[in-house]
Amino acid sequence: MSEKYQEGSQECLSEISAPIFPKYESVDRLVAAVYLLVGYLFIYVFSSYEFERNLALFTVCYGVVVLLCLYGKGIRPAKESWFWLAVMLAIGIPYAFWSVLYILQVLALIAVAAYWTLCACGRLLEKDRTSQWVFFDGWNALVTVPFCNFGCQLRVLFHSSVREEAQNNHSGRISGIALGIVLALPLLVIILPLLSSADAGFQHLAGNLAFYITEHLLTIFLRMLFAIPVSLYLFGLIFGGIYGRNIDRIRVENLVKMGKGIKMIPDTAVCTALTVICLVYCLFIGLQGQYLFSAFAGIRPEGLTYAEYARRGFFELCQIGLWNLVFVSLAGGFAKTDLKEHGGLRFLITLLSVLTLLLIVTAVSKMGMYIDVYGLTVLRILPLIFMLWMGVVFVCIIIRQKKEFPMVRICVMAGAVMFCLICVCPIEQWADLYNDWAFARGLIV
């Protein structure tokens, strides 16, 4: 009796823990087959000679496939998803013509494509819009949803009930034949060269065929081998987005509860830490005021070249800006009292943000004076754009202390727009044109 009870309880637990597989339609089987091709194209892009052009074409192809899948299922993409679709295309298409970010641009393209897919399905944590939970939405899009639905493509392609088998016997035979041909390819690669070497007549008859299979079909087979896990990953993402399978592993309610749980540091300790940091920055600015702010007047400190003056401390100030962003986030997240109810904490966060903006402006002014003398380069433009985005973030933090608005959403979308401008604009060519123009007029050396 006890053994039967244990077996029954184990079956109940397995049913509870296992996610219910949705009732898919016949069109899903077509989508699963199409995603096999999409996975192959992805591998082909990264193994081809014309990688830049093929990556741009694949970006467009991926966007079209996802939209066709959604409209084919009667799903209208969320409004904000069109913004992220434009971001994805703006990152991927210009790669065929120019790029100054290289690997970073490819990684950003992959992340945005996954995020856009989930956003288009309306499966973000706040339905169809970017929110303060954007990091968790990105984790869902890149990791949770595709990997938790990793085997769905195989199940859609090959699993069917008895009734479906009776109705789709013909299509099952066709898919079986296609699978058999695919399985025969590696065997032919091994057998044909050996048979050609064993017999001169067969070598004359099948020599060209053996060469073609060895050289070309082996490459195709290897690509197909790597394309299968990619296809499973991509289909798992779109399938989970459409049917909502394994989409709720991260819940807003749990995140809010966790956020309240980490508010454990006394307000006095947080305010003291922020006060000490602000005093250190005030002391630094007071002692180095003439050195820091001389760039506003176009004056270079004695004993330093323009290059030394611009570079000295520039990247350190960039790091300080990032650290201050971390400090502000930790102060608001770990303080026991909510920011809305603690005026002193809001004042210290505002003061720290103002001091950070002051340091950012001094760093930008130093780099601007360097550019006025020596002209533009990519390595001088990119840090300026990053500092501009940091300025937007800290301005939003200051405003947030007085007024509620979706700060994270604005900052993320502003960063996406700036990143797109870097990808779309031929920065290197424009910098060369400006340098030639400025040098001809004696503006730079």
Percentage of the chain modeled with pLDDT above 90: 39
Residue 316 pLDDT grade (very low, low, confident, very high; cuts 50, 70, 90): confident
Question: The tokens of 101 are what?
Answer: 């970010």
Token code pair at residue 379: 């390595």
Q: Tens digits of per-residue pLDDT, 90-137?
A: 999 999 999 999 899 999 999 999 999 999 999 999 877 898 999 999
Per-residue confidence band for 16, with pLDDT thresholds at 50, 70 and 90: very low
pLDDT, tens digit (0-9, with 9 covering 90-100), for 45-87:
998 888 999 999 999 999 999 999 999 888 899 899 999 999 9
Whether pLDDT at 176 is above 60: no
Q: Is the pLDDT of residue 200 over 60?
A: no
From 4-13, 42-51, 159-168, 297-306, the region with the lowest mean pLDDT: 4-13
Question: What's the mean pLDDT in 303-331?
Answer: 76
Q: What is the pLDDT of residue 154?
A: 86
pLDDT tens-digit readout, 370-393: 888 888 889 889 988 998 999 999
Average of per-residue pLDDT across 256-271: 85
Select the highest-mean-pLDDT range: 89-98, 175-184, 197-206.
Answer: 89-98
Q: How far is CA 382 from CA 271, 356, 364, 368, 401, in A?
A: 35, 19, 12, 13, 30
pLDDT at residue 151 in the model: 87
Average pLDDT over residues 239-243: 91
pLDDT at 322 over 90: no
- The better pLDDT of the pair 434, 164 is held by 434
Model pLDDT, residue 24: 65
Q: Which of 145-149, 297-301, 407-411, 440-444 is least confident? A: 297-301
Record the pTM. Answer: 0.83
Pick 14 or 265 by higher pLDDT: 265
pLDDT score, position 52:
92
Chain CA centroid to CA 79, Å: 19
What pLDDT score does 251 carry?
A: 86
pLDDT of the residue at 393 = 94
Average pLDDT over residues 339-349: 84
Q: CA dist 165 to 158, 173, 174, 180, 308, Å? A: 10, 10, 13, 19, 75
The pLDDT mean for the chain works out to 81
Query: Are the beta carbons of 269 and 344 closer than 8 angstroms?
Result: no
Indicate if the pLDDT at residue 234 is higher than 70.
Answer: yes
Residue 10 has what pLDDT?
Answer: 41
- Output the CA–CA distances (angstroms, integers) from residue 374 to 289, 371, 428, 438, 443, in the order listed: 25, 5, 15, 10, 9
Question: Is the predicted pLDDT of residue 238 greater than 60, yes or no?
Answer: yes
Please, which pLDDT band fits residue 211 given cuts at 50, 70 and 90?
A: low
Q: Is the pLDDT of residue 419 over 90?
A: yes
pLDDT band at 222 (very low <50, low <70, confident <90, very high): confident
Q: Residue 374: what pLDDT?
A: 85
The pLDDT assigned to 204 comes to: 56
pLDDT value, residue 301: 64
Measure the CA–CA gap between 67 and 256, rounded to whole angstroms. 33
Least confidently predicted of 13-22, 191-200, 285-294: 13-22
Are the C-beta atoms of residues 130 and 411 closer than 8 Å to each other? no
